[in-house]
Structures are given as C-alpha cells and as structure tokens.
C-alpha cells in the first residue's frame, strides 16, 4: 500500500516573505491568497519562522513596534519534509497547535507548504478507489485472502467488511489495515472465522470505528 505523502498534498511555490517584509504587506498577502499564515525565509530560502493571523493580531496593542516579519514571526519554524506521511504531518500540526507547515528539502530550503485543508483532501478520495485498494492491496496482496472471501462495501469513506476469514485473529488485523487506507473514515467488520485461534474461545464478529 502506498500512502500519499506530504509531497503529494502540499502546495508548491508557496507564498513566503522575507525578514524585512512590512506588516501591511503581510496582511495583503494573506488576504490575496486566502491563507492564514506565511513562512518567513532567509537569503537562502530557508524558513526561519512563520507569521500567522494570530501573530499579526497580537502585534497591534498601543505602543507595539512589531512592524516587520522578523519582529512578528513565531520562531523557529516548525517544518515538514516531502517524504513524511500525511498522518505524521497531521500529528505535528496537532502537537504544536498550528494549521500550516513549511515543507523543506534535504538542504532546508522551502519547497512548499502543507495545511490542514490539504490533509483533508485525503477524504475526498472516491469510494471506488478505496474499495479497489482494500480488495487488491489489503486483502489479496497483504493478507493473501481469496477475493471472494470478503465483500467490501464503501459509502462516503465508510467501509463495511462482510464474509469469512480463516482465523479469528485476522479480523482485528484486517480492520487495522483497512483503517490505514487513505480516505477511510470508518471501518465496520461483520466477519466470521473458520477457526477461532483467539484466547477465550468462541468465534465472533469484529468491529471498529474511527
């Protein structure tokens, strides 16, 4: 299974500003491009900080002298790399309570920006594409199950699995693998098993919700 990476989802040629960019120019850029933050780069195109709408609003008390990007920015910049998974980028955003990450190459130069809205594009993936990946990659290639053993239904990203698997222990594994497929919102397993190899004994159906 190949999951879409930051490189697949990010906005390339991202809007950026220099350390000396003025307050009003930053406001103009945010409004013009419909964004909520902009990376601040040095002479080598390396992000040194980020100016957000919140930074701009904090700078406006009477007597404030924060008039350039360097004075306004939150620093150091929290960055992402193109090869990161979308999940890793989302966790970094959540951990730092930010909405956008500058994306840098191996030399630290800015190559794009990824935002929460970019990550949400994963969930616009069509049901047919999700179904095909689960059938071909998860069930057939990874778990070596017969294509006729499990029926996969997908409705707006919600996956329903029905059928029979060889062992009870495969049910939670199948669910977890399906949950990792890009675009999946929820997984429900209505699966029986031919042999109960789980501690405790009785065969049962499994289910999961995310």
Residue-level pLDDT at 67:
87
Domain residue ranges in the chain = 6-122, 125-195
Question: What pLDDT is attached to residue 64?
Answer: 58
Is residue 179 classed as helix, strand or coil in its secondary structure? helix
User: How many C-beta atoms surround the C-beta of residue 102 within 10 A?
Assistant: 26
Among 134, 160, 130, 129, which residue's Cα sits nearest to residue 147? 134
The position carrying tokens 């990824």 is: 114
Q: What is the pLDDT of residues 126-160, one digit of tens each?
A: 999 999 999 999 999 999 999 899 999 999 999 99
Tell me the fold of 125-195.
GMP Synthetase; Chain A, domain 3 (3.30.300)
Give the torsion through C-alpha atoms of 75, 78, 82, 85, to 10 deg.
Answer: -170
Q: What is the CA radius of gyration of the chain?
A: 23
The superfamily (CATH) of domain 6-122 is CBS-domain (3.10.580.10)
Work out the widest C-alpha separation in the chain, in whole angstroms: 75
The overall average pLDDT reported for the chain is 89
Using 50, 70 and 90 to split pLDDT, how confident is the model at 43? very high
Res. 63 pLDDT band, cuts 50 70 90: low
- What residues contact residue 195 under an 8 Å CB cut-off, 6+ apart? 166, 167, 168, 203
- Residue 192 gets the label, from left (phi > 0), alpha (psi -120 to 50) or beta, of beta
For position 50, what pLDDT does the model report? 97
Report d(CA 75, CA 132) in Å as an integer: 44
pLDDT score recorded for residue 74? 93
Locate tokens 């409004």: which residue? Answer: 31
């Amino acid at each position: 299974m190949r999951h879409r990476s930051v490189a697949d989802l990010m906005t390339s040629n991202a809007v950026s500003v220099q350390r000396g960019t003025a307050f009003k120019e930053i406001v103009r850029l945010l409004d013009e491009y419909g964004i909520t933050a902009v990376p601040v780069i040095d002479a080598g195109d390396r992000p040194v900080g980020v100016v957000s709408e919140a930074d701009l609003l904090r700078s406006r008390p009477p007597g404030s002298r924060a008039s350039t990007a360097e004075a306004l920015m939150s620093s150091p910049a929290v960055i992402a790399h193109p090869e990161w998974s979308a999940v890793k980028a989302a966790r970094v955003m959540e951990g730092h309570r930010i909405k956008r990450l500058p994306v840098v190459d191996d030399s630290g130069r800015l190559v794009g920006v990824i935002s929460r809205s970019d990550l949400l594009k994963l969930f616009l993936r069509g049901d047919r594409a999700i179904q095909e990946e689960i059938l071909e990659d998860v069930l057939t290639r990874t778990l070596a199950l017969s294509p006729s053993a499990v029926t996969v239904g997908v409705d707006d990203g919600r996956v329903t699995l029905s059928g029979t698997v060889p062992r009870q222990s495969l049910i939670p594994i199948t669910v977890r693998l399906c949950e990792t497929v890009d675009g999946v919102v929820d997984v429900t397993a209505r699966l029986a098993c031919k042999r109960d190899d789980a501690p405790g004994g009785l065969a049962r159906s499994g289910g999961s919700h995310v």
